[in-house]
Amino acid sequence: MSEITLAVRGLRKVIGKKEIIKGIDFELKRGEVFGFLGPNGAGKTTTIRMLVSLIKPTSGSIEICGYDVETHFIQAMSQLGCIVENPELYPYLTGWENLEHFARMLPEIDIQHMKDVVKLVRLQERIHDPVKTYSLGMRQRLGIAQALLGKPKVMILDEPTNGLDPAGIREMRSFIRYLAEEEGLSVLVSSHLLSEIQLMCDRVAIISRGEVIKVDTVDSLLSLQERLIWRVGPMEKAKSILEQWTPVTEGADGTLITIYDEEQAAGWNRSLVEQGIAVKEMQRKLPALEDLFLELTGGETVD
Amino acid sequence: MTKLVQNEMLKLVRKKKLVVIALIIGVLVSLFTYAQFKIVERTVERLGEVDWRTTLQQQIIDTQNRLTSSRISDEWRSQLQLRIQQQQYYLDKDINPMEPGAPTFMRMFAENSINLFIPLMVMVVAADLVSSERSAGTVKLLLTRPVKRWKILMSKYISLVLSVSFIVAMFGILSYLISGIVFGYGGWKAPVITGFTVEGGELNTAGVHLIPQWQYLFMVFGLVWFVALVVGTLTFMLSVLMRSTAAGMGVMLAALIAGAILNNMVASWESAKYLFMINLKITDYLAGNTPPIEGMTLGFSLAVLAAWGLAALAVSFSVFTRQDVY
């Protein structure tokens, strides 16, 4: 289970005098969906383009299934499937011709496998139509079919739900889970939406200004950042009681904010009530990406 | 590699580039055939059905008359004198330089298209070979395959060479078939004089010999192919360097047109002979016309063109294999 399929070490990119990516390290395991989360301009796309060797890193190494991309390009890239930004295919060819085109760039792909892939992304009925007549969702699916052609072990998807409608997003999400759970692929997904990442990833790396700030499982990251908002009176007394267990900050609109701890919350409430505090409201608040960022970066704004 | 070339050819064919080019050539050949036909018709009208010797004699007299004018520039004067000498030579040997027929038309058309029309057609194919993949974003899919970048570029270049060959062949076939309707399909064996050299403003006929027209045509089309390939390679380089197809086309077009204009005015600017666009009319060496700059020879022009082509290839490959794709 903990087989490492993609290892990134000390990845840096300097353009001109500016250091865009300042040393990124992370690892992908077999069968997991790994989220790459950060605001626009944090360096997500640059990093992903380095992973798929569209951009040459200034320093650092990328290993795909044990093959270094620099020294064993062919072997490494054979294990990789990817869509970078939008799946741009040849609009004047049919879906099937596009697949044939990319199959010719891979060693020995048989027709049956191509048909299976088409079936998997459910494009059987439209596969012989020109791509220019496809909807965005269908293009995205064809893009995935194309990425799956080479039977990759690692799949890299840059903003896979961008521009899709809600049904398309849900479909894409379950498809990504399917790839990881049933096919045993490692999937790297980038997004600037926390909710996205939360719904489909096992682990997440938070990236900001070209650095990975944190790598953790989605569950622990979220619980760490969950807040409990108290509306109580009198405030001063309640604050001093709560501070016995946990740090307390004062919210802007006369509320107190503590961390959310499922085990303790009821106990804190009881002792407040026992000491004569009126608890008017207890609200559990999931973190917004903005808060998470403020917390982790100490004040960097998210655009 | 064959599969990669197959991919590139598929894309070229499906974009209907080659069909468009064949159509343009077809239309232009028809136009010129008609124009040529009109010229012949008018001469017959004016002078009656005459022997070509009389026409040639008349041309020589016309040119001599022009030479008597004092407002003629020295360069132009020496060119006209050379032309008279050449025409006189044809007359003396009793050979018709304009033997009517489709092969003669082909020869004339090729000689006149080599520096502008053919390069233009090649540009249509070459200009967007790489830049279109970049502007459409499909280059990201190409470069993330387990195929080395130089192989991808090589497959594109091979498909360019194939297209250039196709265009030149198309050019020959269409001009023969279409003009033949009017001028007849004969004349392959008509003798043509070649081997004129110009030395110090004098026509040297020492190396002159007769060859059948088909052999001459073969040489002309070989040269046309070479020029087309070099222009294609240069355009290919621009396509790698520039993201915009229009910009690449514009640069190349400017160079070609500048070459056509410069050809007539660089006689005293010697180092211009190293520019590729001055060296495009290499069929002139076969016909014995004066080169734009004195001292230029067929070998020299071929070498200059080859050097430009090789440099462009080297730049294309080193940039394409290293550049970051955003």
The alpha-carbon gap from A208 to the nearest alpha carbon of chain B, in Å, equals 19
Q: Measure the CA–CA gap between B166 and B150, rounded to whole angstroms.
A: 24
Asked if residue A210 lies in contact with residue A22, where contact means CB atoms within 8 angstroms, the answer is yes
Q: What is the pLDDT of residues B216-229, one digit of tens each?
A: 899 999 999 999 99
For residues B81-104, average pLDDT:
79
Does the CB of A101 have a partner CB in chain B at under 8 Å?
A: yes
Nearest residue to B243 (alpha-carbon basis) of B142, B120, B157, B127: B127
pLDDT of B24 over the 90 cut = yes
Looking at residue B274, what DSSP letter applies? G
Task: Return the top range by mean pLDDT from A65-69, A120-124, A143-147, B235-239.
Answer: B235-239
User: Are B266 and B157 spatial neighbours (Cβ–Cβ below 8 Å)?
Assistant: no
Alpha-carbon distance of A236 to B271, in angstroms, equals 90
Q: Are A204 and A218 in contact (CB under 8 A)?
A: yes
- Mean pLDDT across the stretch B38-45? 81
Q: Which tops the pLDDT comparison, A295 or A175?
A: A175
Q: Quick check: B206 pLDDT over 80?
A: no
Asked if residue A55 lies in contact with residue A70, where contact means CB atoms within 8 angstroms, the answer is no
User: How far apart, in Å, do the first and last CA atoms of chain B sit?
Assistant: 26
* B contacts of A77 (beta carbons < 8 Å): 144-147
In the structure, what pLDDT confidence band is assigned to residue A1 with cuts at 50, 70 and 90?
very low
Structure tokens at A23: 């040393």
Query: Region B35-62: what's the mean pLDDT?
Result: 81
Of B14, B141, B148, the CB nearest to A146: B141
Q: Which whole number is the average pLDDT over B277-290?
A: 83
Q: Distance between CA atoms of A11 and B75, rounded to whole angstroms?
A: 65
Q: B81 CB contacts (<8 Å, ≥6 apart)?
A: B67
Asked if pLDDT for residue B310 goes beyond 50, the answer is: yes
pLDDT of residue A115: 92
When pLDDT is cut at 50, 70 and 90, the band that residue A122 belongs to is: confident
Terminal-to-terminal C-alpha distance of chain A: 37
- H or E segment and range at residue A206: strand A203-208
- Asked whether the beta carbons of B294 and B75 are under 8 A apart, the reply is no
Cα of B314 to nearest chain A Cα, Å: 20
From residue A140, alpha-carbon distances to A32, A103, A115, A131, B318 in Å are: 21, 18, 17, 11, 33
Mean pLDDT of B189-209: 71
Cα–Cα distance, A34 to A31 (Å, whole number): 10
**What pLDDT shows up at residue A129?**
93
pLDDT the model gives residue B226: 95
Question: Are the C-beta atoms of A62 and A52 separated by less than 8 Å?
Answer: no
Kindly state the average pLDDT of the residues A250-266.
82
Mean pLDDT, all residues of chain A: 85
**What's the distance, CA A41 to chain centroid?**
15
What pLDDT score does A291 carry? 66
Please give the pLDDT value at position A303: 42
Q: Is the ipTM of this complex over 0.85?
A: no
Question: What are B208's two structure tokens?
Answer: 């002159």
pTM tops 0.80: yes
Chain-centroid distance of CA A182 in Å reads: 19
Least confident of A121-135, A262-276, B39-53, B199-213: B199-213
Contact A44, A36 (CB under 8 A): yes
Mean pLDDT along residues A217-231 = 77
Distance separating alpha carbons of residues B247 and A100, to the nearest angstrom: 32
CB-CB under 8 Å, B322 with A56: yes
> What is the reported pLDDT for A294?
67
Identify which of A194-208, A213-227, B2-16 has the greatest average pLDDT: B2-16
* pLDDT for A288: 60
Structure tokens given for B121: 């057609």
| pLDDT value of residue B201 | 62
Q: Strands across the sheet with A278-285, in order? A: A249-250, A256-259, A227-233, A278-285
pLDDT tier for residue A225 given thresholds of 50, 70 and 90: low
Lookup result for tokens 């650095």:
A211
User: Is there a contact between A86 and B326 if contact means CB atoms under 8 Å apart?
Assistant: no
Task: Kindly state the average pLDDT of the residues B150-160.
Answer: 94
Name the DSSP class of A228. E
Least confident of A162-166, B10-14, B71-75, B297-301: B71-75
Kindly report which listed range (A3-12, A226-235, B173-182, B236-245) carries the lowest average pLDDT score.
A226-235
A73 touches chain B (CB under 8 A): yes
Interchain contact, A80 vs B147, CB within 8 Å: no
**Rounded mean pLDDT, B295-324:** 92
Q: Which of A118-132, A180-194, B101-115, B157-171 has the highest mean pLDDT?
A: B157-171
B129-144 confidence digits (pLDDT tens): 899 888 888 999 899 9
Q: How far from the centroid of its chain's Cα atoms is residue A57's Cα? A: 21
For residue B4, the chain A residues in CB contact (below 8 A) are 104-105
3 state SS of A182? coil
pLDDT number for residue B149: 93
pLDDT for residue B102: 86
* Closest Cβ opposite residue A93 in set B14, B142, B143: B14
Q: Is A88 on the interface with B (CB under 8 A)?
A: yes
Reported as a pLDDT band with limits 50, 70 and 90, residue B200 is: low
Question: For A278, phi and psi rounded to 5 degrees?
Answer: -85, 110
Give the C-alpha separation, A206 to A26, whole Å.
11
User: Which neighbouring-strand residues pair with B209?
Assistant: B194
Q: Does A132 touch chain B (CB under 8 A)?
A: no
Lowest-confidence segment of A88-102, A280-294, B99-113 by average pLDDT: A280-294
Position A86 scores a pLDDT of: 79
Banded model confidence at residue A302, pLDDT cuts 50, 70, 90: very low
DSSP 8-state symbol, B47: H
Task: Answer whether A107 touches B (CB < 8 Å).
Answer: yes
Contact A85 B140 (CB under 8 A): yes
pLDDT at A156: 92
Q: Is A97 on the interface with B (CB under 8 A)?
A: yes
